[in-house]
Structure 1
């Protein structure tokens, strides 16, 4: 228990952490457009939920469901649109809040593991480049990091606390967190369990694991984490096979998702993410590794550094799995910056003293630099994948009130190409449903006709690899009343089609 003299200091540190989290999480948060493919796709699915009223089945368009991710991310974005309106700022508000909440949860873990400076792990996480920049990216992984932080706060309280009543409550909190993580991203949300189980088994024996797997906890996990899966599997035929084949087997063992598969793919993705992402704190990490290696025997070190051992296992074991899995993206390792921040805090806590003017100036300058980078990305960088720019360009062909939907016809038979190439995010800016049609798929003609009949008046953007005339066989199945060529957009033909 903290002494009375420490209580005001702890409150002030928490207030400063809150202020920092609000500043870093919300500065320039709504000023950057949605980037393809992921940001536009998540926002499009949230808008489809709002427009259709179907919050159970995520969908790209009124015609195409999308079960590649559980619904939590879409629910958060849709709720924000309900509260704040349909704009880019509202799309990113949940990410600023998730970033702030994650800092508070890390602070809670810091109170147990770094009791003299509980704010330090959260400060490290907030000011590291990768977690900071990730808070501005619409993805599932920011929410996954939050849910895993909930689970691990419960575990840390249960594994390193002394009060039996609190321990039981913390175990239940841990399983609530696992349920939320599974509902956010499926099996990857349980990755820290790969560290929890061997750590408890090595410290308390296999019988000690029973205290962390109570029936009430398992029931909570099943109710929160699996209920949605059960409902949609019963409602949509073939979905169980899709989950097991496409989202589990293919991601684990094949390069079907085109995400840096192969023997060296993990080096390309994860090494620079971790090395650059932990800047400016990595010198402390190097010193910590050197110190651990010079501590003597492994048995001696692990017996005297229980917290460090657990954090090391929490970081290393999931990282090894991520490296072996054939679907790899930088954001997958975002949750690992939580144990990394706690490890760094334990290593550098004696050298960090914000009472010193030099350290405060250094920290302030770094925060200004982080905000400047975020500002430049928002105002000065406009890559081709910016869906707001795409929407502005498309609006020059015809006022949006003259058509009811956009149809992007791609010269492919792959659903993956449709997911990646279609600028789904223009839906937010033009307020029109977006359809992606794989031209070489067997049902392409029927898909085009259905989209045209549903919308009535449609803006059709045709892949640059073939000509608008190539659509004539498909349009013959549903003869339009009028086809008006409007010109070319980024090398692709644009036509206004009225049914």
Structure 2
């Protein structure tokens, strides 16, 4: 868990990579900080938004409250959720099998899951959903283990995990939970009695957690908020064409396999023997894992737009199942294949490290990340050389790709527009009050966060935005819209400029040279801070 945070942290805790949907949660959290209403969620334009439950917004808000309103704070709890998912995967495996080896391999598989890593670097619901569903899976696992009494914490984990997941994403969590509970009651290998599932205190607390925000919104805003929520959960998410369902189903199967590469490849030599052996050992959990896999594939097939992150909620359960198969198939005895996989990732990291040295020599301050990468490279190289702990070498070298990647993204994307413009606004001898914004709304979210609390940023409408311009003394406007204004009425106070993707080769070649600024200004995307002339 610590290594996950250490190696994914440089990639996750900055805006080197920005996912579009993050703006909804950052904007709402900033507005919560501003008005003290921690239940109602708003867009950057001031409109109400009820498409997702409250827990993701609160995760961003908690970061802002503890660490200030900045990029690090907006993502820290999502990174920690990713690390906690790795820990819960270990705990789930240990609960089921009581074998350290299976648990360790399962945790390594989950730590090196690319979808988990990417989700841990985004302030959107997916990593919180997999964390809470894994907590629930821990409860399911306690009911499905072969021996011993059901632990007292099992119903609490099962129901509270589902309740929290419902407050993260809504109906998908309820669907997986309903399928899992039905399986406990009716699977033919180890049926769970209804009496042992009806734990009144856990059910009451979990129902309160699951329904609290929904009841609060009903009381504050009336039943109309449900139209927005259900429209997002069902209306726009569900595909209606048979071909689209078939297509998304195939894509989901391919992505589900891909997210466990190279681990699935190590299972192939003994796959028939291994699957047969694990099935005989604990058919009830094997059936549960396969049922949840089929359930998530079915849900993904039914979506109108398919994303790889939709598969993430069941990944820890499948990581445990795969780790179980690998250990039973004695995959560590096939050292050549393990060494080749580790070497492939190691070579890729050496290439990224060399690129980082090149950038550092030109003045890009990445020495701290380079030192971290070097330490892990030496450690992984030593493991490969000695042929020891090769699964760990594979997982660590895969994780190492992300700080290596950050060496380049930090050069291309920093400082972001909010940082650039806030420096001028903070130093200016005036109170800007409310500033109007016209441009990419994802950019406005970063600027809005950077200007808090002294300055409020309000997004202008997509259509008819020119009619709103007279309402504001000061605006921030994207260069593509600036030409639509009567420029004689405004003066440019400051501007931000970011790298153009088309000009990246020229900019890297010119980095550290006098001509760099001219190339950047000529090719980059600009946002102007403008003010009406007296």
Same fold (TM over 0.5): yes
Structure 2 CA distance for partners of 1:30 and 1:163, relative to 1, 3 Å: same
Counterpart of 1:121 (choices 94, 102, 106) is 106
Aligned 8 A contact 2:111 2:395 in 1: no
Match of 2:43, SS state, is strand
Structure 2 counterpart of 1:460: 476
Structure 2 CA distance for partners of 1:191 and 1:463, relative to 1, 3 Å: farther
Q: Please give the residue correspondences for 1:342-353 in structure 2 after superposition, counting only pairs within 5 Å.
A: 342-350=320-328, 351=330
Structure 2 CA distance for partners of 1:408 and 1:222, relative to 1, 3 Å: same
Structure 2 CA distance for partners of 1:160 and 1:183, relative to 1, 3 Å: same
Q: Does 1:426 align with 2:453?
A: no
Q: Please give the residue correspondences for 1:326-341 in structure 2 after superposition, counting only pairs within 5 Å.
A: 326-341=304-319
What does the per-residue CA deviation read over 1:257-298, in whole Å, with 9 as the maximum and x for residues that have no partner?
Answer: xxx976524545x355433322221214545765578x59xx
CA RMSD of aligned residues (A): 3.9
Match of 2:297, SS state, is helix
Partners of 2:91 and 2:457 in 1: how far apart?
A: 43
Structure 2 counterpart of 1:478: none
Structure 2 CA distance for partners of 1:190 and 1:67, relative to 1, 3 Å: same
Structure 2 counterpart of 1:496: 531
Aligned 8 A contact 2:19 2:122 in 1: no
Alpha-carbon distance, 1:147 to partner: 0.6
Partners of 2:415 and 2:240 in 1: how far apart?
A: 34
Alpha-carbon distance, 1:154 to partner: 1.2
How many residues are treated as equivalent by the alignment?
446
Q: Does 1:56 align with 2:46?
A: no
Structure 1 counterpart of 2:187: 202
Match of 1:252, SS state, is coil
Aligned 8 A contact 1:273 1:330 in 2: yes
Q: Does 1:310 align with 2:296?
A: no
Structure 2 counterpart of 1:10: none
Aligned 8 A contact 2:475 2:530 in 1: yes
Aligned 8 A contact 2:132 2:165 in 1: yes
Structure 1 counterpart of 2:338: none
Partners of 2:10 and 2:19 in 1: how far apart?
A: 22
Partners of 1:197 and 1:302 in 2: how far apart?
A: 22
Q: Does 1:391 align with 2:418?
A: yes
Alpha-carbon distance, 1:93 to partner: 1.7
Q: TM-score, normalised by structure 2?
A: 0.71
Aligned 8 A contact 1:25 1:95 in 2: no
Structure 2 CA distance for partners of 1:192 and 1:247, relative to 1, 3 Å: closer
Counterpart of 2:262 (choices 265, 274, 280) is 280
Q: Please identify which structure carries the higher helix content.
A: 2
Structure 2 CA distance for partners of 1:227 and 1:487, relative to 1, 3 Å: closer
Alpha-carbon distance, 1:232 to partner: 0.7
Q: Please give the residue correspondences for 1:472-491 in structure 2 after superposition, counting only pairs within 5 Å.
A: 483-484=490-491, 490=525
Match of 1:408, SS state, is strand
What does the per-residue CA deviation read over 1:430-481, in whole Å, with 9 as the maximum and x for residues that have no partner?
Answer: 434332222327xx6786666x3xxxx4323158368534899xxxxxxxxx
Structure 1 counterpart of 2:164: 180
Runs of 5+ consecutive residues of structure 2 not aligned to the other structure: 334-382, 498-524
Partners of 2:250 and 2:111 in 1: how far apart?
A: 25
Structure 2 counterpart of 1:45: 28
Partners of 1:227 and 1:458 in 2: how far apart?
A: 40
Aligned 8 A contact 1:458 1:497 in 2: yes
Match of 2:437, SS state, is strand
Structure 1 counterpart of 2:238: 252
Alpha-carbon distance, 1:99 to partner: 1.9
Partners of 1:98 and 1:233 in 2: how far apart?
A: 29
Structure 1 counterpart of 2:343: none
